[in-house]
Amino acid sequence: MNETTALEPAGLGPRLGAIVIDQILFVLVASLYASPSATPWPAVLVLVVANTFFLGLFGQTPGMRLCRVRCAAYPEDGVIGLFRGLIRAVLLALFIPAIILNSQGRGLHDRAAGSIVVAVPKP
């Protein structure tokens, strides 16, 4: 696997699909201990914790797995680790950094964490 194909940015559609799936899951989990309509911050806390854990250790959230994308360290590939996962998750929770993309499709949260979202090749 060469570096240019391994780090080909994922399309916007699968990335948005993964975020929507994850948000639904995070709101459902947060609603187990708080009403999302009365207290919105628990869903954000679940987003930060889950993204830090899943991306830091496995490179994919459940939504990313379903949409066949993964988060990789940039430019070296591999998982980003918990600290970089936390940086990425906190900035993703702010939302604005996620919509400011560069020519590689990397948002501010990806650039700050040294990561890139790439497509997972079909088996």
Radius of gyration of the chain (CA): 14
Question: What pLDDT was estimated at residue 3?
Answer: 44
Which two structure tokens, joined as six digits, stand for 59?
Answer: 């490179």
Ranges of each domain in the chain: 3-119
Positions in the chain short of pLDDT 50:
1-5
Q: By CB neighbour count within 10 A (0-12 exposed, 13-18 middle, 19+ buried), where does 62 fall?
A: middle
- DSSP three-state, residue 118: strand
Q: How many CA atoms lie within 13 A of 114 on its CB side?
A: 12
Question: What pLDDT was estimated at residue 14?
Answer: 94
